[in-house]
Structure 1
Amino acid sequence: MQTTVTLWPLIGVAVIIVGFLLRFNPMLIVAVAAIVTGFAAHFPPGKILALIGTGFIKTRNIPLIILLPLAVIGLLERHGLRERAQAWIGSIKAATAGRLLIVYLAVRELTAAAGLTGLGGHPQMVRPLIAPMAEGATENRFGKIGDAVRFRLRAFAAATDNVGLFFGEDVFVAFGAIVLMTTFLKEAGIIVEPLHVAMWGIPTAISAFIVHGFRLWLLDRWLERELRGNRPGGGAGAASSSSTTSSPASSAATRATKSATGDQA
């Protein structure tokens, strides 16, 4: 016997999308989406409130899990973690922002493929370490950088973490998405081993590493073009070269002036 499936509860997804596009408070968006979804599913108000309260009780320990690492990272930054990271990377002459991020991309993908997804991340790794190290490597080669370059480096650092995690965890056999796919296929009568699904994620991870690694290589080329004039000692070299190139022209002009003066005499 077939049952009619109503799609009206999916309107909660539209509420979330519109709320984030309008930049409303995330907690308010989620609460409104839950209420709208409950009414669309014809739940009574009491049941909606009961479900929201049950969800809050089950996840009330999550803020502690998030806030405790942030407090530790804040203390480390207060005592000079960012400055020490910049000074250390500045002591490596061959280090560039692109090379540093390529190394981090490889490490992030390999650790995520092994299931160690918590070793990286924006608050605990990118902000206090990776982004300052990329900025330090750039300042070591080109001197002081402006806000536009600084924000671009931070964006590339965050993107590198995202790419490494997203494509690396697809190789981990116990990843939730792999379990979901194998369960869905099993219900459809298609038996697939989770290990086989994970193995097929390896070519995608390698391709992502090559593509994003090439983008990071282009980042180094862009920095070279934009900041070549800021290189320490670059101004003096440019001035001496310009004076050297202009010296034959000025000599020729002097000789022409003397010749014209002699002809007039």
Structure 2
Amino acid sequence: MIKLIGILLIIIGFSLKLDTIMVVLLAGIATGLVSSIDFLEILSILGNAFISTRYMTILLLTLATVGLLERNGLRERAAKCIAMLQGATCGKVLTVYVIIRTIAAALSLRLGGHVQFIRPLVYPMAKGAAERNGALNKELDEELKSLANSMENYGNFYGQNVFIASSGVLLIMGTLKELGINGLEAYNIAKANFPMAVIAIILAGIRNYMFDKKISKKQVSSNE
């Protein structure tokens, strides 16, 4: 049981809101020591683990870049630009994004993301279009946030399975083979997922249209 001390340290460290990296490293070192592993070997294991997953540090660069752009007014500029477009509504902005995101996922292009696109760009643009005739209340604003994030999920989830080499298609093909269903290729699975991607875009568009109507109704009632 003492070998599980690392889990206990992580629970305590996260509960106390201590530095995440420090907590994880201490938990790893403590687990190694109670497992009678040499300290130098522990450091070697940690180093090898870092090197093998070093591509994950790219996310840190992305977060820093987005943070600098937001600090210098990216969100405000995006909202102002979309508010200047005639006929642009919150629902139309989100619908255009889900179409672009689905196509990008179908082509296996790394475009989109909650951190990289939704928070700094898509949400401010949608909010700017929504507030053309008045500010949103807190309830509508929170609903808009969830709706914008759902567009990312729809586009990524249904779009990626249209690409024949995606992990989702390969997982489906492997599962079907385990169940004894042979003769299906990745192309057949991707082709079958194409209608679902189209249906997802249509349903997302309807949902966005209904949200536009809800915003208009709320703004009209608040202005009276």
Instruction: Note whether the superposition's TM-score is higher than 0.5.
Output: yes
Determine the structure 2 residue equivalent to 1:99.
92
Offset of residue 58 of structure 1 = 2.1
1:120-177: per-residue Cα shift (whole Å, max 9, x none)? 111110000100011101111x222222221111111001111111001010111012
Gaps of 5+ in 2: 1-6, 29-34
Instruction: Give the aligned residue type for 2:106.
Output: A
1:197-242: per-residue Cα shift (whole Å, max 9, x none)? 1000011111211222211111111111212144xxx55xxxxxxx
Instruction: Give the aligned residue type for 2:196.
Output: T
2:118 to 102, 114, 126: 126
Offset of residue 186 of structure 1 = 4.4
1:88-120: per-residue Cα shift (whole Å, max 9, x none)? 11111311111111111111111111111x211
Quote the Cα distance in structure 2 between the aligned partners of 1:54 and 1:69.
23
Matched ranges for 1:202-213 at <5 A: 202-213=194-205
Quote the Cα distance in structure 2 between the aligned partners of 1:160 and 1:91.
23
Determine the structure 1 residue equivalent to 2:31.
none
Instruction: Give the aligned residue type for 2:127.
Output: E
Matched ranges for 1:32-71 at <5 A: 55-63=49-57, 65-71=58-64
Give the CA RMSD over aligned residues.
Answer: 3.3
TM-score when normalising by structure 1: 0.65
Instruction: Give the aligned residue type for 2:156.
Output: L
With over 3 angstroms needed to count, the CA separation of the structure-2 counterparts of 1:52 and 1:164, relative to structure 1, is same
1:28-78: per-residue Cα shift (whole Å, max 9, x none)? 9xx8xxx9xxxxxxxx886xx898876455224413x11101111111112
Runs of 4 or more consecutive aligned structure 1 residues displaced over 6 Å after TM superposition: 49-53
Quote the Cα distance in structure 2 between the aligned partners of 1:109 and 1:99.
15
Question: Number of residue pairs matched?
Answer: 202
TM-score when normalising by structure 2: 0.76
Instruction: Give the aligned residue type for 1:147.
Output: K
In terms of Rg, which structure is larger?
A: 1
Once the two structures are aligned, what percentage of the paired residues are identical?
36
With over 3 angstroms needed to count, the CA separation of the structure-2 counterparts of 1:223 and 1:188, relative to structure 1, is closer
